[in-house]
Structure 1
Amino acid sequence: MIDTIKTERNRYLDFFRKGIDYLKKDKTQFAVELLIETGEEELKHPFNLIRVDFIFKDDEKVNRINALQLDSILDYETIKNIISNSKIEVNPFCWDNCKIITDKIDINKLIPWIEKWIDIEESRQTEYSNSIHNCSMIQKSDGIEEITVDFGTAPIDAFLELIEFLTDNNEKIEIK
């Protein structure tokens, strides 16, 4: 399971770095992984925080945002694992658009996880932010709960910490 997660992260980071290098060309005013707060009233903190991949000022001094998203997933068989008595299913997924489906997501654990990994304080001093780019609010339907996470440039530890706290309350966790 870890090898697949590493592969997905590395594939996205390679794509991200190349995309950023391309977008930087001929730009004088830009930012990479800028943390912004959306104005959408229905989104509560920290679900209203987003790290935009790339933002720049165009010739008219208007801010323009570029999102770098993989448009394909790798083709591999579902990986099944058991962690702390929870069945984990890892289906083909994209690091920047990862759906996590389970019975119950503890919002009291999810919020601190988001705050840590979106790096509100911008404390990580590296070339890239090593942060998630956003996490959706919990979606509830037919007795299951789901979130979608853009893991951005976050390390694998962010992914593993999320799975770890989800195993506390759930018999099954599906990743896709």
Structure 2
Amino acid sequence: MRRQTATGGINPAGSSRALRLDPLSLPVSFDAQDIRADGGVRNVELHRERVVLRRAVQGMRMAINLRVSDFRGIALRGIDDAQMLVLVHRDPSLTIPLCVSSDRDEITAAWQMWSDIFALPQLPEDKTCEPAARRRRHNAIRSRRPKFLARRRGGGALNAANVHRGEREIIARN
């Protein structure tokens, strides 16, 4: 198995080292820009079924392992006079650049190829990527009875056979 390595991350349009990854030669390992990482660079390993992001933040090294199916799709973004293909995640910090080019036909072909390889939809160009809304935390235990009350039997379960009406009470006194 062959690895393709591209260094330098996302380069500005017109650069001689523009990012162009080949989807037919996966797995691919390359460096991409990450403003929060130490040195501003993170390492990305791209496989057919998974993506591994490696970076260091304040000296703490980490590796984030994601399934490709966790990503929303392949999107086309415009940057200056070029366009960029990205693998879009609902968390914008996990979005991964795939291709940067100023040739419209090349970008369109690459967009279709990446979409077919990963079996992800092609996201429209005009759709802005907003971070996902924070999920509400549901407390499953809140609706239950407190622990000390759960041990006791409720008062509504009286047996009708134990109730004696109209009889005299016998009280034993010492």
Same fold (TM over 0.5): no
Instruction: State the TM-score, normalizing by the size of structure 2.
Output: 0.23
| Larger RCO (alpha carbons 8 Å, 6+ apart) | 1
Which structure carries more helix by proportion?
A: 1
TM-score normalised by the chain length of structure 1:
0.23
